[in-house]
Amino acid sequence: MAAADPDTEVQAEFPPLVRQYKSGRVERFFNPAPLPAGTDPAMGVVSKDVVVDPATGLWARLFLPPGSHGKKQQLPVVVYYHGGAYVIGSAADPWTHTYLNALVAKAGVLAVALEYRLAPEHPLPASYEDSWEGLKWVATHAAAAAAAAAAVGGGPVEPWLTEHGDFSRVFLAGASAGGTIAHYVAVRAGEQQGQGDILGMRVIGLLIVHPYFSGAADIGDEGTTGKQRKAQADAFWRFLYPGSPGLDDPLSNPFSEAAGGSAARVAAERVLVCVAEKDNLRDRGVWYYESLKASGYPGEVELLESKGEGHIFYCMNPLCDRAREMEERVLSFLRK
């Protein structure tokens, strides 16, 4: 009997996202081809890709609003982390690129979408560490530190950031797994303020959209979905992060005992949490909102629930009424 081919024998499978074979080969689903950077003909937004760290392959896609290119205009900076359950997605995927084109055009901000490494080839916490390194790279462009950016090992200086970034108005944002990452980097920045690591940036707001949090204990409707679903969530987390203690890992559950109350140290003056009524992650998003308010975090925490909608609906149907409602709330949050 012929030996099984490790390149076709499945080791782990998590539909509809990813399959890994015993050879290590990874097959991704629901993962469309990336869109190129350039000038968006509909919005007039200009984008480009820049290398952040050649050693790890970390890069970012920058977006400038119409009329800004070539002018010395100071703009709020939105550092954005894409979703995809840590296994799919990109700063250049159609949903992220199209969403940020519209956001940048309407809000008049400079957006930096960071491209972190994906699991399982790069197990967690690689995506979190890449995202933190990306934020530090952005911070080296703050006016007070731009001249010393190369000296602190933050990567090459990017003219769009030095010429257009207003580092007294910085926002951290992310959707799904990117929302979880945005929380993580906001906490880490808060813990290291005053130690020079964020180089004088002022983080005004944290935007958490349909976040991908979890936990060993059931909350909300999780207890009605059965033990099998919780077991699947735990298996997927361990697939992403071999050696992790499980769903109460602080990277998954920011209010677990192991997290040590770190959530209260979020480096943002206000937080907006967006959830969708029909999203399986809806209860965790509301739990995050309520837990952050009760954590001792001193800033303002807001919640927007989109009735009748599912996960990341605003990317799939950006012209629907609820997507427009959410857009207006996000624009108000950025302009406040």
DSSP 116-161: PPPTTTS-TTHHHHHHHHHHHHHHTTSTTTGGGTGGGT-----HHH
pLDDT of residue 60: 98
pLDDT score for 246: 95
Q: Does the residue 239 lie in any domain? A: yes
Cα–Cα distance for residue pair 214/284, rounded to 1 Å? 7
Identify the band that residue 336 occupies on the pLDDT scale cut at 50, 70 and 90: confident
The contacts of residue 326 (CB under 8 Å, 6+ apart) are 274, 304, 306, 314
The pLDDT of 151-167, averaged and rounded, is 79
Highest mean pLDDT among 4-8, 221-225, 327-331: 327-331
- Report whether pLDDT(167) > 70: yes
Q: What is the overall mean pLDDT for the chain?
A: 92
Classify residue 47: in a domain, yes or no: yes
Instruction: Determine the pLDDT at residue 196.
Output: 40
Least Cα distance to 273 among 291, 289, 250 occurs for 289
Asked if 77 and 110 count as a contact pair (C-beta separation under 8 A), the reply is yes
Is the residue at 95 inside a domain?
Answer: yes
Please list, in sequence order, all residues whose beta carbon lies within 8 angstroms of the beta carbon of residue 130, skipping any fewer than 6 positions away: 56, 58, 114, 116, 117
**Do the domain assignments include residue 234?**
yes
pLDDT score at 198: 58
Query: What is d(CA 196, CA 214) in angstroms, rounded to the nearest whole number?
Result: 32
DSSP code for 317: S
Give the H/E segment covering residue 12: strand 10-14
User: Does the residue 5 lie in any domain?
Assistant: no
Exposure class string for 5-38: b at 16+ Cβ within 10 A, else e: eeeeeeeeebeebbebbeeeeeeeeebeebbebe
pLDDT digits (tens, 9 = 90+) for 76-130: 999 999 999 999 999 999 999 999 999 999 999 999 999 999 999 999 999 999 9
Distance, CA of 271 to CA of 280 (rounded, Å)? 22
**pLDDT tens-place string over residues 12-48:** 999 999 999 999 999 999 889 999 999 999 999 999 9
The CATH number assigned to the domain holding 231 equals 3.40.50.1820
Can you give the residue range of the structural domain that contains 228?
A: 10-335
Indicate whether 21 belongs to any domain. Answer: yes
Q: What is the CA radius of gyration of the chain?
A: 20
195 confidence band (pLDDT: 50, 70, 90): very low
Q: Supply the residues annotated as catalytic.
A: 176, 279, 311
What's the number of domains the chain is made of?
A: 1
pTM equals 0.94
Out of 30-44, 67-81, 301-315, which region has the weakest mean confidence (pLDDT)? 67-81
131 occurs within a structural domain = yes
Taking each helix axis from N to C terminus, what angle separates 94-107 and 321-335, rounded to the nearest 10 degrees? Answer: 50
The band of 225, judged by pLDDT with boundaries at 50, 70 and 90, is: low
* β-strand pairing of 46-53 with 165-175: unpaired
| pLDDT at residue 251 is higher than 60 | yes
Residue 27 in domain: yes
